[in-house]
């Protein structure tokens, strides 16, 4: 499969690398408004580097990966879909709910695969939590706790990463959006949202620095959620799932799992940890990029499967992209109006 990349920044370079290193894929072209960035991404291949969208789209390719900033995702996504390309777009799918809906509708109308880069689903610690819940080892799922946070503004390299007109929001659209997706992935769906958000730390208009919320799935099972830009201990995310017969935790960074199982509620307990030493050593040598790259490789494998009609893969689809942005907006609405916001179940997108 010939795949083009739009946006060759930190993430786009890794996306291009994942394409180059997969024997079933070929880098077709790269478009970035910076020629240097585009050229760097095509290094070692014969793929052309472009600084505008149209000649990029005119190049022969089967699929496009969009990894430009969120406020410009839409133009590239529509351009790719109009030409019949399958699409994998970075999170957030768009900086607005309406933008997400337009991209989802276009993918459905064109019968193309739309995947969204919620790569935490491919982190071993999250995979373990998902597999543990599905296996029934912790019994009936009772509730989740999800958390994503970092120190806020000093963490950002560029303005678009935190300014509302480009990013579409604050902590919930940044590190928090991954955790919204993890909650939905584990709950099956999010149909009810109540929450409180604030802009009291960094005072960036429209960009909340803290949000606490409760999400519920159609069965009423809740996730307690926090997204924050005032996690002074540094970048961290975790999910904990509590069931009738135990609990399981997945966390990063560092990558970690903990599992407690018991034969009955309050019964004899067994506790296990996994510290993933190989990942910790690799990150010391090659930074977090090495872990992200592995997850992008996993996503690419499943993207190929999705284009062949197999949707039974962990890869997030367009509905996951849409729901995560809808949930961020619902938390804002809930916070402002002091009410519970309900959303219709979306499920999974149909196979192409
Ligand atoms: N999945 C993840 O874990 C993860 C992590 C970080 C960022 N992201 C997402 O990936 C995307 C890119 O993030 P990044 O950290 O690589 O950003 P970045 O700023 O490092 O790179 C963005 C690149 O896009 C280029 N660009 C700007 N406007 C463009 C346009 N109109 N068309 C084409 N290229 C354009 C810039 O020149 C830059 O090279 C964002 O959507 C971001 O939210 C995902």
Identify whether residues 124 and 90 lie together within a single domain.
no
Identify whether residues 67 and 142 lie together within a single domain.
no
Rounded CA gap, 75 and 104, in Å?
13
Q: Which domain holds residue 109?
A: 2-118
CATH code assigned at 109? 3.40.50.720
Interval between CA 206 and ligand 1 midpoint (Å): 20
252-263 pLDDT, tens per residue?
999 999 999 999
Last residue of a domain, one of 93, 118, 143: 118
By percentage, how much of the chain surpasses pLDDT 90? 97
Atom 25 of ligand 1: nearest residue by CA position: 7
User: What pLDDT sits at residue 237?
Assistant: 98
pLDDT band for 347, please (50, 70, 90 cuts): confident
Interval between CA 89 and ligand 1 midpoint (Å): 11
Index of the ligand 1 atom closest to the CA of residue 117: 1
- Bond prior to 253 in cis (omega within 30° of 0): yes
How many CA atoms does the CB half-sphere of 319 hold within 13 Å?
Answer: 17
Q: Are 86 and 112 in contact (CB under 8 A)?
A: yes
pLDDT band for 348, please (50, 70, 90 cuts): confident
Residue 52 lies in a domain: yes
Index of the ligand 1 atom closest to the CA of residue 31: 33
pLDDT at position 74 over 90: yes
Interval between CA 229 and ligand 1 midpoint (Å): 20
Across all residues in the chain, what is the average pLDDT? 97
pLDDT band for 290, please (50, 70, 90 cuts): very high
Q: Span 10-29, mean pLDDT? A: 98
Residue 338 lies in a domain: yes
Rounded CA gap, 94 and 89, in Å?
9
Identify whether residues 53 and 194 lie together within a single domain.
no
202-254 pLDDT, tens per residue?
999 999 999 999 999 999 999 999 999 999 999 999 999 999 999 999 999 99
Give long-range contacts, CB 8 A cutoff, 24+ apart: 296-302: 296/14, 296/15, 296/17, 296/18, 296/117, 296/119, 297/18, 297/21, 297/22, 298/119, 298/122, 299/18, 299/88, 299/115, 299/117, 299/119, 299/122, 300/18, 300/19, 300/22, 300/25, 300/88, 301/22, 302/115
Q: Span 176-185, mean pLDDT? A: 98
User: What pLDDT sits at residue 184?
Assistant: 98
User: What pLDDT sits at residue 188?
Assistant: 97
192-206 pLDDT, tens per residue?
999 999 999 999 999
Identify whether residues 129 and 265 lie together within a single domain.
yes
Rg (CA), the chain: 20
Interval between CA 118 and ligand 1 midpoint (Å): 14
Index of the ligand 1 atom closest to the CA of residue 37: 39
Q: What is the DSSP string of 3-35?
A: EEEE--SHHHHHHHHHHHT-TT-EEEEEE-SSH
pLDDT at position 350 over 90: no
By percentage, how much of the chain surpasses pLDDT 70? 99
93-139 pLDDT, tens per residue?
999 999 999 999 999 999 999 999 999 999 999 999 999 999 999 99
Residue 351 lies in a domain: no
291-310 pLDDT, tens per residue?
999 999 999 999 999 999 98
CATH code assigned at 125? 3.30.360.10
Identify whether residues 103 and 181 lie together within a single domain.
no
Q: Are 3 and 62 in contact (CB under 8 A)?
A: yes
Index of the ligand 1 atom closest to the CA of residue 34: 37
Interval between CA 267 and ligand 1 midpoint (Å): 49
User: What pLDDT sits at residue 167?
Assistant: 96
pLDDT at position 22 over 90: yes
CB count in 10 Å sphere of residue 294: 18
Q: Are 296 and 115 in contact (CB under 8 A)?
A: no
Identify whether residues 32 and 145 lie together within a single domain.
no
Identify whether residues 34 and 182 lie together within a single domain.
no
- Measured CA distances, 119 to 132, 321, 341 (Å): 19, 12, 27
pLDDT band for 351, please (50, 70, 90 cuts): low
Q: Give the pocket of ligand 1 (CB within 6 Å).
A: 6-12, 31-34, 37, 67-70, 72, 90-91, 117, 119, 158, 292
Identify whether residues 106 and 178 lie together within a single domain.
no
Identify whether residues 59 and 109 lie together within a single domain.
yes
Interval between CA 172 and ligand 1 midpoint (Å): 17
Q: Span 66-77, mean pLDDT? A: 98
Structural domains in the chain (count): 2
Residue 240 lies in a domain: yes
């Amino acid at each position: 499969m010939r795949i083009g990349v739009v946006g060759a920044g930190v993430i786009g370079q890794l996306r291009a690398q994942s394409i180059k290193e997969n024997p079933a894929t070929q880098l077709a072209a790269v478009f970035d408004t910076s020629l240097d960035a585009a050229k760097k991404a095509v290094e070692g291949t014969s793929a052309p580097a472009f600084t505008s969208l149209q000649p990029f789209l005119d190049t022969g390719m089967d699929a496009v990966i969009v990894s430009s900033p969120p406020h410009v995702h839409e133009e590239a996504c529509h351009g790719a879909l109009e030409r019949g390309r399958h699409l994998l777009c970075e999170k957030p799918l768009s900086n607005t709910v309406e933008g997400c809906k337009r991209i989802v509708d276009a993918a459905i109308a064109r019968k193309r695969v739309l995947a969204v880069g919620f790569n935490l689903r491919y982190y071993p610690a999250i995979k373990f939590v998902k597999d543990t819940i599905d296996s029934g080892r912790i019994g009936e799922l009772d509730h989740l706790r999800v958390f994503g946070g970092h120190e806020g503004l000093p963490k950002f390299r560029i303005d678009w990463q935190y300014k509302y007109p480009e990013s579409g929001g604050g902590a919930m659209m940044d590190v928090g959006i991954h955790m919204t997706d993890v909650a939905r992935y584990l709950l099956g769906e999010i149909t009810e949202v109540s929450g409180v958000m604030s802009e009291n730390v960094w005072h960036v208009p429209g960009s909340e620095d803290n949000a606490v919320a409760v999400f519920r799935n159609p069965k009423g099972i809740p996730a307690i959620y926090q997204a924050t830009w005032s996690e002074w201990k540094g970048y961290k995310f975790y999910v904990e799932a509590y069931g009738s017969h135990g609990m399981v935790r997945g966390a990063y960074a560092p990558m970690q799992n903990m599992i407690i199982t018991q034969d009955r509620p309050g019964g004899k307990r067994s506790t296990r940890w996994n510290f993933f030493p190989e990942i910790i050593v690799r990150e010391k040598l090659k930074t977090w990029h090495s872990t992200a790259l592995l997850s992008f490789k996993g996503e690419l494998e499943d993207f190929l499967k999705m284009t062949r009609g197999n949707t039974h893969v962990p890869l997030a689809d367009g509905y996951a992209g849409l729901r995560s942005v809808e949930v961020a907006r619902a938390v804002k609405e809930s916070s402002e109006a002091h009410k519970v916001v309900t959303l219709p179940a979306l499920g999974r997108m149909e196979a192409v």
